[in-house]
Amino acid sequence: MDTNSNVYTFIYSSILVVIVAILLAFTAVQLQPLQEKNIRIERMQNILKSVGIIATVENAEQLFKDKVKDDFIVDLAGNKKTGKGFDVKMKTQSKISLKIMKLNQKLLKASGKDKEALSTKISKLQNTLELPVFILENEGKSYTVIPLRGKGLWGPIWGYVALEKDKSTIFGAVFDHKGETPGLGADIAKEWFQKQFKGKQLFEGKDLVSITVYKGGKGAAANKGDLTHGVDAISGGTITSKGLESMFKSSWLFNYKSYLKK
């Protein structure tokens, strides 16, 4: 058969594409429930890990039920809203938060009518913001766990930070990412990076200053003399590190200001 004829080429490519498409669509649909369950369990594991509980895939769900004492949503003013924190889609919320941040920057430059329109837009968005909070108890101590989400270099980064009773001292932090550069930005998910956060303070007196990431390799934060709020960035992973800092500041964590002050 002439494999170079136009008709053959057309038929061949059509059949190939249809077969591949069916194959991929079928596996994706079939495996989706299993994949979603894995993601759910991983979220539970990460939340537990932020307070120092290591859960396996098997016992994560049970442990999560036992250790999580409260799971709710707050608004910008720090008041409780209806709903469960675990069901909140962080992806949507962090998008809203980023949008508010951008509009606020615009607001500074705007004047007259634009200003009014912008501020109504902002307050509308702010009303839709849902901020999840988890209260966990382990070995007689109670912790407030706050989920974080932001932008890395190639995609989203997220994490959970566990606060002690004063809602300022960090007990533990867990970070993860979708596709940061292996060996560089991806190291935010590594133990050595995360353990730096233990004992850091979010508040300085009454001000929420949160965490700053310092460039300059190991000991950069110590060199800058900021050990209470500073951590070392990852060399070669500057944009991921900066994204992480922003997640701890204006792009996400600052939304919790009123709640944390209570």
Partner 1 sequence: MSNKSLLTGPINLNNPITVQVLGICSALAVTVKLEPAVVMAISVTVVTAFSNVIISLIRNTIPSRIRIIVQLVIIAALVILVDQVLKAFAYDVSKQLSVFVGLIITNCIIMGRLEAFALGNKPFPSFLDGVGNGAGYGVILVMVAFFRELFGSGSLWEIQIIPDSFYEMGYQNNGLMILPPMALIVVGVIIWIQRSRTKELIEAN
Q: Which amino acid is at 124?
A: K
Q: Using CB under 8 A, pick the residue from 201, 235, 250, 258 that binds partner 1.
A: 235
Sign, CA torsion 222/224/226/230:
negative
Residue 211 has a CB neighbour count (10 Å cut-off) of: 24
Shortest reach from residue 8's CB to partner 1, in Å:
6
Closer to partner 1 by Cβ: residue 9 or 128: 9
Which one of 18-26, 46-54, 76-84, 203-211 is the stretch in contact with partner 1 (CB under 8 A)? 18-26
According to the binding rule CB under 8 A, does residue 34 interact with partner 1?
A: yes
How far apart CA 248 and CA 140 sit, in angstroms, is 28
Residue 166 interacting with partner 1 (CB under 8 A) = no
Q: Shortest gap between Cβ of 102 and partner 1 (angstroms)?
A: 28
Secondary structure tally for the chain: helices H, strands E: 8, 10
Q: Which amino acid is at 244?
A: L
Pairing of strands 131-138, 68-74: antiparallel
User: Of 69, 183, 204, 261, which lies in the binding site for partner 1, with binding defined by CB under 8 A?
Assistant: 183
Q: Is 86 in the site for partner 1 (CB under 8 A)?
A: no
Say how many residues touch partner 1, by CB under 8 A: 33
> Cα separations (Å) of 260 from 77, 102, 152, 208?
10, 23, 25, 9
Smallest CA-to-CA distance from 49 within 62, 63, 35, 66 is with 63
Which of these segments, 29-37, 72-80, 116-124, 225-233, binds partner 1 (CB under 8 A)?
29-37
Q: Which residues bind partner 1 (CB under 8 A)?
A: 3-4, 8-9, 12-13, 16-17, 20, 23-24, 27-28, 31, 34-35, 38, 42, 57, 154, 178-184, 186, 190, 217-218, 235-236
